[in-house]
């Protein structure tokens, strides 16, 4: 029997090898036929006929270029009809090499899911994978082969508008989410028509742009790069990410697009990445502005030599690369390598067998309004909501019957589009298919008991609506306020120096609070905002991010207790912009302040707290959880041993609830200084009211590793603290020693 199994495994391996060889051989057989110009064409990507996120170089001969084999891929072209039209042109080229259609499917296509940062607040890897899966199913049914996602940039700076696209500040959580998203997008694997190729971006360190200003420079130690910023990329690669995108920023003086260390040494060298790297929009040509390339020709040379395979929209490759090869400035072997990588993916997704395999009208129609997708969206939205405050158990509200008069006040009560967020798509029927908070609260309590006032706009200084809002508030028994950002206030090129709740919204909250009525505030935003007065004075606050198509239903479910919130913040919320960058896994320093009254020659601010307003990992539930009996299986270990750390978590409240139990570790003394705590595990558990569970984590020396001063990933013996708790600032601690 064992022999048979071995034979079977051997044959399977041969088969896999043979298939692999076939793709390699097929790639080579195409490559052998290609002229240099055709090869360069494969390293060129154009935007579709409308502008998206950057300046467009308008060629009226775009279609002619496709027919001439000068275009490998298009972005921002979706829909079966359109993609088919352009693919028809590619089929008129000499070698009939199919076009790849790429699109930013960041949080859904037809069904808009919560923004990625909101999804990260769910700490629910299965749900996040499902969200990416559905996005891929819908997009691939509309002819899309490739998504420019996930964005796996670690972000410690909420001024940076692109925080909304990532998983927040933590490399551990970020890595697990990167993996879940790649798995979701690529589903059962490339070659299935419901899979889209993932693209891990922006390689690398884009999230650390100086001052939180988009496209800005990044200057950081290699150790920080490896320890904090690269892990989610490695996780995406390990999960099989088909492609990577390089990035707008320079890293320590070298633009990422021409960064050989990043692309050739790490990604394609050490990590053995087999896919291809696309530039960011125009980032090859932008190296002229950086002062790194003297013209487009120079830029194409620098990018290609450094391992950037496909030029998105800068036209540097198409105009110069062939000449550069002729002049010996770029080796043909590098061009061949880039083209091989690109063709390989086109083969893998089956386009050479059937260039129209993603052009299926029936499938496109079926995915247009798919109820299962919408249900999954609602589930994801509910899981993403974070309860920041709930004094005197103001929430949940009673539904019809017990309820008194409710006033809905604020600029976002009746809005639809604002809740979809940046990087979402508009469809002509959105106003019919998507409901507002007003609609959904009405469904819960019936018409007669609802009042409404807008109060103010999102972002202007007018208070003319305040009086009406206050009189509506006075007439009500309870007030729900819906405030926050417009959908274009956080996103690409949406960096802000002031991240307070915009306009006069917080003043409106103060005015309504002055009526003395109980107030619940819902904050809808793409980034951590600052709202200290609200945080200190309003009894109940839900952070609802941008939740997508079914967001209003999800919020209403939470407001009325049909869902008990369990989200936990994936980013620290600052109390003032001056604290930024702010993150939980900082170094202790030589003069740590132990509290906000400990300021005398301490690492502190003389005018503000050092603590975030809301900490990483924080989030409440309608029930309460108590942590006790933290226990280690041993307090003295040897290198080959494992440790089990556990704690008893008890639901001490009146509701069944879900808790994200978090494990942090601190290495007390290191050959380089170590953070005060690092997330190393978490478990999402469900506890019935009154129920207790022992939650256990297995810890090995793998969990103790870090990049030392020689950039070696290794662990060191010594003393450690193991912390288990409900957030990064509320943990129970146990100590141990680990020896060789």
State whether residue 541 is helix, strand or coil: strand
What residues are paired with 389 via a beta bridge? 541
Q: Which of 157, 250, 280, 667 is catalytic?
A: 280
Smaller CB separation from ligand BGC, 201 or 496 = 201
Query: At its nearest, how many Å lie between ligand BGC and the CB of residue 282?
Result: 8
Sequence-distant (6+) residues with CB within 8 A of 178 are: 150, 152, 167, 200, 232, 233, 235, 236, 239
As measured in angstroms, the least distance from the Cβ of 501 to ligand BGC is 27
Q: For residues 392 and 288, what is the distance between their CA atoms, to the nearest angstrom?
A: 59
Q: Within a 13 Å sphere around the CA of 192, how many CA atoms are in the beta-carbon half?
A: 12
Q: Which helix (H) or strand (E) holds 44?
A: strand 44-47
Lookup: tokens for 691:
């129920």
Complex with ligand BGC: residue 230 or 724, whichever CB lies closer: 230
Phi-psi label, residue 467: left if phi above 0, alpha if psi -120 to 50, beta otherwise: alpha
Figure out which of the listed residues 104, 119, 138, 286 binds ligand BGC, where binding follows CB under 6 A: 104
Give, as ranges, the residues between 272 and 291 that touch ligand BGC (CB under 6 A). 280-281
C-alpha distances in Å from residue 66, one per residue of 44, 48, 69, 196, 512: 10, 12, 5, 22, 59
Look up residue 175 and give its two tokens: 């890595």
Q: For residue 250, state whether it binds ligand BGC (rule: CB under 6 A).
A: no
- Cβ nearer to ligand BGC, comparing 53 with 252: 53
Of the pair 54, 551, the CB lying nearest ligand BGC is at: 54
Nearest to ligand BGC of 169, 492 (CB atom): 492
Site for ligand BGC contains 203 (CB under 6 A): no
Rounded-to-integer distance, Cα 75 and Cα 549, Å: 24
Task: Clarify whether 280 is annotated catalytic.
Answer: yes
Contacts 24+ apart (CB under 8 A), 345-348: 345/100, 345/190, 345/197, 345/242, 345/243, 345/275, 345/276, 346/97, 346/98, 346/100, 347/23, 347/26, 347/27, 348/23, 348/190, 348/191, 348/242
| Bridge partners for 336 per DSSP | none
Cβ of residue 738: shortest distance to ligand BGC, in angstroms? Answer: 41
Among 52-60, 120-128, 585-593, 658-666, which window interacts with ligand BGC (CB under 6 A)?
A: 52-60
- CA–CA distance, 329 with 274 (Å, rounded to integer): 24
Interior CA angle at 339 toward 265 and 307, to 5°?
A: 20
Element (H, E) at 250: strand 250-251
The one-character DSSP state at 355 is T
Per CB under 6 A, the segment of 50-58, 400-408, 601-609, 625-633 that binds ligand BGC is 50-58
Beta strand spans in 395-454 (E): 406-409, 450-453
Report the residue number, 130 or 162, with the smaller CB distance to ligand BGC.
Answer: 162
Residue closer to ligand BGC by CB (options 314, 442) is 314
Nearer to ligand BGC, 104 or 169 (CB): 104
Of 110, 106, 194, the C-alpha closest to 153 is 106
CB of 80 to ligand BGC, least distance (A): 21
Pick the stretch among 51-59, 293-301, 483-491, 502-510 that binds ligand BGC (CB under 6 A). 51-59
Residue among 485, 492, 553, 703 that touches ligand BGC (CB under 6 A): 492
Residues 383-422 binding ligand BGC (CB under 6 A) are none
Please name the residue ranges forming H helices in 349-387. 361-366, 371-384
For ligand BGC, the closer of residues 54 and 410 by Cβ is 54
CA 449, 450, 455: angle at the middle one, nearest 5?
150
Q: Which of positions 556-575 make contact with ligand BGC (CB under 6 A)?
A: none
Stretch that binds ligand BGC, among 7-15, 48-56, 335-343, 683-691 (CB under 6 A): 48-56
Tell me: does residue 52 bind ligand BGC (CB under 6 A).
yes
When asked if residue 113 is in the footprint of ligand BGC (CB under 6 A), the reply is no
In three-state secondary structure terms, 554 is: helix
The nearest distance, CB 228 to ligand BGC, in angstroms, is 20
For ligand BGC, give the closer residue by CB, 310 or 434: 310
> Does 53 participate in binding ligand BGC (rule CB under 6 A)?
yes
Q: Which of 201, 487, 568, 680 binds ligand BGC (CB under 6 A)?
A: 201
* Long-range Cβ contacts of 350-357 (<8 Å, 24+ apart): 350/191, 350/193, 351/98, 351/100, 351/145, 352/26, 352/30, 352/97, 352/98, 355/87, 355/90, 355/91, 355/96, 355/98, 355/99, 356/84, 356/87, 357/193
Q: How crowded is residue 370: how many other Cβ atoms within 10 Å of its Cβ?
A: 16
The piece of 46-54, 110-118, 249-257, 264-272 that touches ligand BGC (CB under 6 A) is 46-54
Q: Which two tokens stand for residue 419?
A: 């809740």
Supply the minimum distance, in Å, between the C-beta of residue 49 and ligand BGC: 14
Q: Which residue is nearest to ligand BGC (CB)?
A: 148
Contacting range for ligand BGC; rule: CB under 6 A; set: 47-55, 60-68, 115-123, 387-395: 47-55
What's the distance, CA 714 to chain centroid?
A: 28
Shortest distance, CB of residue 201 to ligand BGC, whole angstroms?
6
Range in contact with ligand BGC (rule: CB under 6 A) among 27-35, 49-57, 536-544, 669-677? 49-57
Residue closer to ligand BGC (CB basis): 311 or 492: 492
DSSP, collapsed to helix, strand or coil, labels residue 89 as helix
Minimum CB distance to ligand BGC, residue 547 (Å)? 22
CB of 580 to ligand BGC, least distance (A): 22
Cα distances from 534 to residues 505, 552, 731, in angstroms, run 10, 22, 26
Reading the block at residue 534, the tokens are 């609200």
Name which of residues 132 to 171 contact ligand BGC (CB under 6 A): 148
**Nearer to ligand BGC among residue 73 and residue 524 (C-beta):** 73
What is the closest distance, in whole angstroms, from the C-beta atom of residue 47 to ligand BGC in the complex? 8
Number of chain positions touching ligand BGC (CB under 6 A): 10
Of these, 41, 54, 355, 491, which contacts ligand BGC (CB under 6 A)?
Answer: 54
- Show the site string, 585-624: x = touches ligand BGC by CB under 6 A, - = not: ----------------------------------------
Nearest-angstrom CA–CA distance, 321 and 635:
61
Cα–Cα dist 118/127, whole Å? 12
Shortest distance, position 107 Cβ to ligand BGC, whole Å: 13
> Mask: binding to ligand BGC, 55-94, rule CB under 6 A, as x and -?
--------------------x-------------------
As annotated, the active-site residues are: 280
Instruction: Please give the residue ranges that form the binding site for ligand BGC (CB under 6 A).
Output: 52-54, 75, 104, 148, 201, 280-281, 492
């Amino acid at each position: 029997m064992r022999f048979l199994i071995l034979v079977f495994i051997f044959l399977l391996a041969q088969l896999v090898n043979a298939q692999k060889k076939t793709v390699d051989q097929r790639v080579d057989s195409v490559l052998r036929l290609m002229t240099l110009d055709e090869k360069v064409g494969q390293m060129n990507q154009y935007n579709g006929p409308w502008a998206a996120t950057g300046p467009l170089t308008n060629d009226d001969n775009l279609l002619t270029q496709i027919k001439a084999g000068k275009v490998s891929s298009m972005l921002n072209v979706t829909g079966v009809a359109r993609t088919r039209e352009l693919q028809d042109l590619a089929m008129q080229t000499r070698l009939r090499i199919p076009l790849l259609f790429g699109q930013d499917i960041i949080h859904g296509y037809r069904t808009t899911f919560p923004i990625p940062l909101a999804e990260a607040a769910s700490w629910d890897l299965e749900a996040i994978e499902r969200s990416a899966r559905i996005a891929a199913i819908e997009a691939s049914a509309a002819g899309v082969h490739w998504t420019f996602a996930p964005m796996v940039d670690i972000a410690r700076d909420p001024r940076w508008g692109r925080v909304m696209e990532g998983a927040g500040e933590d490399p551990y959580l970020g890595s697990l989410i990167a993996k879940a998203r790649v798995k979701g997008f690529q589903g059962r694997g490339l070659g299935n028509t419901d899979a889209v190729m993932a693209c891990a971006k922006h390689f690398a360190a884009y999230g650390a742009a100086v001052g939180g200003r988009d496209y800005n420079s990044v200057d950081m130690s290699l150790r920080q790069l490896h320890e904090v910023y690269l892990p989610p990329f490695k996780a995406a690669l390990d999960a099989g990410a088909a492609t990577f995108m390089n990035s707008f920023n320079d890293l320590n003086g070298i633009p990422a697009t021409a960064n050989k260390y990043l692309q050739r040494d790490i990604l394609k060298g050490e990590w053995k990445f087999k896919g291809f790297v696309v530039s960011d929009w125009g980032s090859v040509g932008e190296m002229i502005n950086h002062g790194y390339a003297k013209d487009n020709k120079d830029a194409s040379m620098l990018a290609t030599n450094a391992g950037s395979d496909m030029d998105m929209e800068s036209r540097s490759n198409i105009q110069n690369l062939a000449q550069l090869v002729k002049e010996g400035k770029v080796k043909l072997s590098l061009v061949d390598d880039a083209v091989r990588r690109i063709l390989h993916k086109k083969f893998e997704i089956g386009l050479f067998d059937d260039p129209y395999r993603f052009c299926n009208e029936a499938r496109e129609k079926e995915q247009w309004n798919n109820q299962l997708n919408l249900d999954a969206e609602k589930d994801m939205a509910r899981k993403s909501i974070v309860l920041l405050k709930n004094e005197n158990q103001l929430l949940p509200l009673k539904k019809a019957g017990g309820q008194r008069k409710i006033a809905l006040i604020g600029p976002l009560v009746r809005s639809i589009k604002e809740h979809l967020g940046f990087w979402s798509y508009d469809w002509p029927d959105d106003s019919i298919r998507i409901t507002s908070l007003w609609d959904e609260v009405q469904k819960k309590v019936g018409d007669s008991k609802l009042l409404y006032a807008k109060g103010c706009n999102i972002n202007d200084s007018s208070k003319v609506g305040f009086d009406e809002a206050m009189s509506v508030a006075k007439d009500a028994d309870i007030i729900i306020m819906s405030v926050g950002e417009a959908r274009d206030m956080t996103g690409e090129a949406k960096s802000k120096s002031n991240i307070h709740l915009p306009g006069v919204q917080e003043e409106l909250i103060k005015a309504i609070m002055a009526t003395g009525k109980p107030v619940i505030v819902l904050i809808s935003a793409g980034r951590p905002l600052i709202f200290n007065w609200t945080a200190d004075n309003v009894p109940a606050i839900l952070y609802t991010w941008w939740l997508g198509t079914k967001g209003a239903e999800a919020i209403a479910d939470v407001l009325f207790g049909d869902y008990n919130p369990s989200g936990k913040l994936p980013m620290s919320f600052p109390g003032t912009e001056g604290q930024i960058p702010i993150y939980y896994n900082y170094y202790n320093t030589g003069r740590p302040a132990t509290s906000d009254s400990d300021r005398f020659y301490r690492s502190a601010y003389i005018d503000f707290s050092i603590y975030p307003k809301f900490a990483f990992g924080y989030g409440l539930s309608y029930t309460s959880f108590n942590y006790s009996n933290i226990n280690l299986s041993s307090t003295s270990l040897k290198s080959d041993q494992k440790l089990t750390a556990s704690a008893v978590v008890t639901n001490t409240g009146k509701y069944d609830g879900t808790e994200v139990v978090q494990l942090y570790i601190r290495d007390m003394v290191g050959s380089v200084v170590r953070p005060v705590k690092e997330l190393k595990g978490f478990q999402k558990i469900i506890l019935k009211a009154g129920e207790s569970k022992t939650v256990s984590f297995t810890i090995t020396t793998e969990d103790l590793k870090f990049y030392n001063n020689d950039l070696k990933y290794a662990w060191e013996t010594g003393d450690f603290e193991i912390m288990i708790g409900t957030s990064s600032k509320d943990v129970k601690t146990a100590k141990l020693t680990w020896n060789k």
